Structure 1
């Protein structure tokens, strides 16, 4: 290859770094053509429905499922870190007074979640962060609605504690399993924007908490965090399956997007949608509104068929947002809690990527191409 060819190849501009491989990871593999998501070697379908969230986090961080003794110790360590420092709670109270959105509160308080930490290494900070992010979200939600925060219960696991701290009552096993499955499903998903942000920050040899705050800031953006709520709003607006086709046709003919369908990466059905659909069905059968679940399944079928008719060749299928909304609604969560709850699950993956990036010792520092003017000359202020 000539020098000119080499320069052209090296200087190729990739907007948004699309297609650029910037990291090697063992944490997850996303194949959009096959509709496949592998989490630390396990097909998503194999892991999500069986593992507790603590097992998934341990797997992501240490590359093996924990033994019974390791899991017991890991759970005990998380339980010991869940309570927030008094100053962090005071900060949340002040944020609630000005009624900021939950993701703002999470971003603000996450930076103060380690105020009482002393001499913790990355692994200690990882446990602290994983334990406290759900506590921040739950405490803030209650404060925002004029209720006192609920202290975490050391006898409950990660998912159960989150629901308990939100509601003040122990959740049913079916709800806990539903949330476990959801948190496992969203625990990691390739080098997405928030994960990349975390890796960039930790690569500077900054601290783990700073990397997580950066990741939360990236997730807060609507182009990344998404909006699962509108997918369910659409189902509520339809109300009855007899109205589904006409409602969806009208939206498509107006050029509107059907929320919960189509994905930038997945060109077939999002594997996370399938896992969450099964989890939602189990949970709704245990005591939820099966009429709503059945309506959602029918709306999905009609929407996919109409998308094939109106947008042939694009193969727009159900994505994770559709069944995320249905499952989290069934858990009793308000739509404003959907993205913070996503963060509760993704924290495990963010931390795993920070561990990987830290081990490389490599600064992430891409180049840029200058497109501005040249050869300008200074003009004194009085002559401008």
Structure 2
């Protein structure tokens, strides 16, 4: 039971993973969703249980776009957060600040309005803080980009993104949107089970996601790939890591034993992005060679984080921003779970196995040796 491995902690109608049928959101295969829909369709699906029709999607997108602008007080909070702060702490603090200004109704009657607001605001938190502290200016949060994927890229880099970049970002948002009772989602559900507000659920998820064993794997994976000048050097280092019995981040998974169903999509996206003028195709070759060697010699498949870091690198996104992008995606899953938990609630309060001392007599401080 270490780490609750193998323990069924609840019921959910949102997602299946590792049950013999790959990864499904509300019954839909992840490959279809990642490559055939916009992320907004997927977010709507997770939150409402069904894919939207054209009118429903248009209305949903309008609400998200309207949520991009931030109150002056939140902007002032973002300005006051030091440039040296971890971007995940920036996201957490801005979420709390918005929750103070625009609280959720106590009966949760406006919960859908709050999460669509947050889906619009999450990218704005990051780009506003980034440009204020990195470029010394107050970025305009209004954009012609209609999708979250396009908005993130356009506002962060202040230039119109390429279609291949928007496709990749859109797919990555979908691939990371939901994953059953992972650490951050389960933590989010615990908060929801106390009947706390949606902002508290989101900040719980952000705090859990910040840990390197959960949200930061793609940062470490791309750092590993970038240190090598060619395939041979990389494979030699892999041999040395094997000899020292050290792990390579981005391989193996708690749930998937044979294949992470998100990984083939990651391979495809990275393969397409390597053709950009600003990309270094050699990095893809190094990553592919390492992937094949680890699988052949250790039987460990790569997970989405291994090529995920390369995808973001090819789009020229700062490494510390990879996990905040995870928030912008997983927020849809977190909210779906919070809604589900609060709708049929019983507070989550497991028991522990006690390993401390047996009952003993109290000794006053005067008589203690």
TM-score (norm 2): 0.92
Match of 1:208 among 180, 198, 203: 198
- 2:353 is aligned to 369
SS state at 1:282 partner: helix
1:346-366 CA deviation, whole Å, 9 max, x = no partner?
111001111111111221121
Please give the residue correspondences for 1:226-265 in structure 2 after superposition, counting only pairs within 5 Å. 226-265=216-255
Aligned length: 362
Match of 1:150 among 139, 151, 168: 139
Question: Are 2:285 and 1:299 aligned?
Answer: no
Please give the residue correspondences for 1:92-241 in structure 2 after superposition, counting only pairs within 5 Å. 92-97=78-83, 99-117=84-102, 121-156=110-145, 157-241=147-231
Cα distance in 1, alignment partners of residues 285 and 355 from structure 2? 54
Higher mean displacement: 239-248 or 358-367: 239-248
1:149 to partner: Cα distance: 4.2
Cα distance in 1, alignment partners of residues 80 and 200 from structure 2? 22
1:134-171 CA deviation, whole Å, 9 max, x = no partner?
21122222334243242233531211111122112221
- 1:379 is aligned to 363
Q: Which runs of 5+ in 1 are unaligned?
A: 1-13
Match of 2:64 among 69, 75, 78: 78
1:246 to partner: Cα distance: 2.0
SS state at 1:29 partner: strand
Cα distance in 2, alignment partners of residues 360 and 380 from structure 1? 48
Partners of 2:123 and 2:328 within 8 A in 1: yes
- 2:313 is aligned to 329
Q: 1:35 to 1:235 in 2, by over 3 A?
A: farther
1:204-258 CA deviation, whole Å, 9 max, x = no partner?
1110000110111111112222321232222222221233332321222122222
Partners of 1:96 and 1:143 within 8 A in 2: no
Cα distance in 1, alignment partners of residues 205 and 96 from structure 2? 12
Higher mean displacement: 101-110 or 143-152: 143-152
Q: Which runs of 5+ in 2 are unaligned?
A: none
Moved over 6 A (4+): none
- 1:63 is aligned to 49
Partners of 2:69 and 2:142 within 8 A in 1: no
1:328 to partner: Cα distance: 0.6
Match of 1:355 among 326, 339, 345: 339
TM-score (norm 1): 0.88
Cα distance in 2, alignment partners of residues 359 and 85 from structure 1? 30
1:103 to partner: Cα distance: 1.0
Cα distance in 1, alignment partners of residues 340 and 140 from structure 2? 33
- 1:40 is aligned to 26
Question: Are 2:1 and 1:17 aligned?
Answer: no
RMSD value, Cα: 2.0
SS state at 1:49 partner: helix
Cα distance in 1, alignment partners of residues 138 and 27 from structure 2? 38
1:78-123 CA deviation, whole Å, 9 max, x = no partner?
11111122222222222125x1111111122211123442665111
Cα distance in 2, alignment partners of residues 170 and 111 from structure 1? 31
Partners of 1:78 and 1:127 within 8 A in 2: yes
Cα distance in 2, alignment partners of residues 379 and 251 from structure 1? 52
1:285-306 CA deviation, whole Å, 9 max, x = no partner?
354433332332233223333x
